[in-house]
Structure 1
Amino acid sequence: MKKLSIALLLTLMIGCNPAIFKSKWTKEIAPESYFTRFETTKGSFDIEVKRKWSPKAADRFYQLVKYKYFDNGVFYRVVPEFVAQFGNSDTTTTKAWNKSKIPDEKVILGNEKGTLSFARGGKETRTTDLYINLQDNSRLDTLNYNDVVGFPAFGKVIQGMDVVTEIYSGYGGSSAQKTDVLYTDRKKYFEEFPKLDVIQKVYFINEK
């Protein structure tokens, strides 16, 4: 029985890991519209994505979901009445995806409450980390940050926004200031920030 339990545990652990990265994944094109479900420690919510809002962003998000990048991800920066930002703490996987940058695009869908957008730090730096707007943040539509104007949204929460607003925000931006620890020692990071919510899995669902 003990051997069986260990074998089962190993199987479950392997099944939860992201697939081994392949550069060809970054060339895949998403459907013109699709829906995803986030299952988190706070509950579930659904997001609708349309390529017309930000084609390159929609493609990258599609790729990340398809290859389970966000499974076991962390809402590491949740600022009340602003944004809930999330990513993955697997250093090897993240570095691989980060080598493929997403070209900058103009804002078509603004940063309304419930919309989803990639975080970035300058020209063509959108890669893997995203945020959900917790309120209308229209200033992000025209904000000139490191010579790039606006943060284009490409999806929006269509069900479960009440879950999103309940994601733990008590650490504010302090937990984001120590993401170097998250990437090197996840256990230690959660010892310091034990209340952060986690993404259990993200997957595609049929149109409602």
Structure 2
Amino acid sequence: MIWACGDTSPGDEVSETVAVPDTFRIEFTSSAGVFEVEFVRDWSPMAVDRVHELGRNGYWDGAKIYRVNERYAQFGYSGRPDLDARWIGAGLPDEPPRVSNIRGTVSFARGGPGTRSAILFVNRSDNTDLDDLQWNGVLGFPPVGRVVGGMDVIDALHDGYGEDPMQWEDSIASLGNAFLERRYPELDSITGLRVSGGGG
């Protein structure tokens, strides 16, 4: 798959094309420390292509890790409403799970059919029930990658708000980080990211 890409700010028009590699890594710097994820295109090709595009263009730089509980750590709203308006609704076709949602794997969050867009979650525990869960008419949550370094950072993320931020997703999308910083000031955030492998 070829994506347009270049040295741009998130949401800018892009200027060159790059081939999405079979595997690549993204190093996420967060307020809790650094963690690294290896993404595997064979596991969910369209979704991994999306990760590569968003990663190279810095989409998650500044994103709040707004849902943290014993099972998941979830992020994906960029914190910039204009950018989220472009990407959160840009859902991808569904793909079947090819590997299991064990601890350390990373998957896209979704609602109904064709809603995987930009929101990722890290499995903090073995969540194999997600492999064949029928949810809103779609089977399973296919992993797209796995944490290869810094799982202790995932374990250390602030989890005091639990599921509460999930009820405010419309406000998160429309108001951005200003809303989260006011209502949930202790949330951890992604403060930088770097793509490596396959020309990243």
Matched letter for residue 182 of structure 2:
E
The yes-or-no answer on 1:20 pairing with 2:9 is: no
Matching of residues 170-185 of structure 1 within 5 Å: 170-183=160-173, 184=175
Number of equivalenced pairs? 190
TM-score (norm 2): 0.87
Please say if residues 20 and 93 of structure 1, whose CA atoms lie closer than 8 Å, have aligned partners that are also in contact. Answer: no
TM-score w.r.t. length of structure 1: 0.84
Aligned to 1:51: 41
Asked whether the 8 Å contact 2:90–2:115 carries over to 1, the reply is no
The question of 1:160 aligning with 2:173 is answered no
| Residue 129 to residue 28, structure 1, CA distance change in 2 (3 Å) | farther
Q: Deviations over 1:7-56 (max 9, x none)?
A: xxxxxxxx99524256x99x975210111100000000111111111111
**Structure 1 CA distance for aligned equivalents of residues 79 and 19 of structure 2:** 25
Q: In the superposition, relative to structure 1, how do residues 188 and 109 fare at CA in structure 2: closer, same or farther (>3 Å)?
A: same
Per residue, is there more helix in 1 or in 2?
1
* Greater mean alpha carbon deviation, residues 88-97 or residues 117-126: 88-97
In structure 2, how many angstroms separate the alpha carbons of the residues matched to 1:206 and 1:28?
12
Match of 1:85 among 70, 74, 78: 74
> 142-151 vs 92-101, which deviates more?
92-101
What is the distance in 2 between the residues matched to 1:95 and 1:28? 25
Rg bigger for which structure?
1
Find the counterpart in structure 1 of residue 53 from structure 2: 63
- Structure 1, unmatched stretches of 5+, are 1-14
CA RMSD of aligned residues (A): 2.3
Unaligned runs of 5+ in 2: 1-6
Return the offset for 1:146: 1.0
**Sequence identity, in percent?**
35
Match of 1:194 among 169, 177, 185: 185
